[in-house]
Structure formats: C-alpha cells, structure tokens
Amino acid sequence: MLKVKATLKMTSGVLFVINFWKGRRKDKDSPTPPAQEESKRYLEDTCIKERVTDADFFRLVSLPQSLDYNEWLATHAISFFNHVNLVYGVVSEYCTSETCSTMSGPGNVQFLWYDDKGKKYKYSAPQYVDIVTTNIQREISDETVFPTKYGQTFPSAFESTVKKIHKYLFHVLAHIYHVHYSDFVTLQMHGHLNSLFTHFMVFNIKFDLLEEKDYEVVQDLLKGLMQLLPDPNQNEGKENTAPSTDKDSNCVKMEVSPTHI
C-alpha cells in the first residue's frame, strides 16, 4: 500500500514538471501580441486645421489693465463650463455606459473621481460627466465662492477652486477627443471643438491653472493646435496685462489636490 502511494506521488510530480515546462514553452512561442497603435483622427492635417475663428487667443486671454484677476478667472471659468457642457451635449447620446464604460482619454488613460476623503471611484464616462457637471454647477452658484454682488470678495483659495474646475473640464474635453472626435467630424463641428479647446488651453497655460502632467496625454494635439496660432512674441508691448503683483494680491496660490470639488 505504501509503495502504491509513493508511485502515485512520484507520477503526480512528474506530470507537474512536464506541464510546467509545456506552459513555459507555450508562453515563449506565443508572446502577447503588441497593442495596436491608437488612432488619433484629430491629428490629421485636414482635421487639426479646422477652426471657426482666427482670433489671436494669446491676446484674447490677457488680463486687461485695472481688471481684478479673480473676476477674470471667474468669468472664464463660468464661460468654459457652459461651452464644455454645450459641446458634450452634442455627443451625449453616443456617450453611454455601454459605449463608454470608463472615463478614458488619449493613451487609454482613465480619469477617476475622488471624494472628500480622497477615496477614488471608477465611473462610466456619462456618470463621471454628470458628477462633474453637478458639482461645478453647485460651486458657481455658491455666492461665497463665486460672489456676484457689489462689495463681496472672493475667497482666498479661489484660484485653487478654479484649478480644480478646469482640471475636471479638461477631462471631459480629453474624453471627447479620444472617443467622440469622429462624431464631431461627421457633424462638421470639429472646428468648434478645436477652437474651444485651443482657447481653453491657452488660458490655462497663461495663468498656470493646469500642471503639465495634467495635460501631457494631449501634448501632440496641443502642439499641433498651437503651431497654427500667431507667434505670441509678436504681440509684446501690445498686451494689456496687469502687473503680476496684482495677481498675487488678489488671491493665494494653493496646490491642486485630487479631491471633490
């Protein structure tokens, strides 16, 4: 009886070794196929050149003299929010939990939502956009954050609030370019999208509202769009920008953290 058990144990061991080497041989002969290169239609020459305006965005975003920096931020944050809502509405019927199960961007990066405690959540794209829209709408409707009455002052952390808002708006635009750009081309509205994104990014870069790591996933797109703009150095002396000290006196810079708006 002991001899039989020993024989069975030895047989099992031999089979394990054989299967192990078979598995290794199979892995070696059938390597994982490389991922297909991402299609970026928005980089095609005929697409990236499409715009609805030839406006000089560098001059357009410059802070006019005697205008409060926070007022300038507030005006643009609300305007960009409304425009991003409009362009997303164009493709919202195509952006469903089935077609867009994750909030993805170029390079298949996934954008996650963080709650007040820093816990992250993975949502489908329409769920993510709905959460972003709801929270930004609540912020811009709050008089203690976006004051509208004479004599009211902006909170010291207002710039930080705008940074977070713009970061989430960027996620929406990045998702549109990654998944729905062809829909805009079909509807012949990609010129509007390109113009909005260019304006949005020039403003963010001008006032350091986004970190480079936040938008590195669209560096190729941004480079292509920027090359179509007039050289900003040609406008030196023409900009009506306020001194940098005005900006520093009107708000306190704070680090952006991935928290709930």
- Which residues define the annotated binding site for Zn(2+)? 95, 100, 175, 180
Q: Strand ranges (DSSP E) for 73-174? A: 104-105, 109-110, 113-114, 120-121
CB burial of residue 226 (10 Å; 0-12, 13-18, 19+): middle
Residues of the binding site = 95, 100, 175, 180
**What b/e string do you get for 107-126 counting C-beta neighbours within 10 Å, with b at 16 or more?**
eeeebebeeeeeeeeebbbb
Task: Collapse the DSSP code of 191 into the 3-class scheme (helix H, G, I; strand E, B; otherwise coil) and give the result.
Answer: helix
Determine the Cα–Cα distance for residues 88 and 52; give it in Å rounded to an integer.
17
Tokens 């669209």: give the residue.
218
CB burial of residue 66 (10 Å; 0-12, 13-18, 19+): exposed
Tokens 């991402």: give the residue.
38
Determine the Cα–Cα distance for residues 133 and 82; give it in Å rounded to an integer.
10
Strand partners, 104: 110
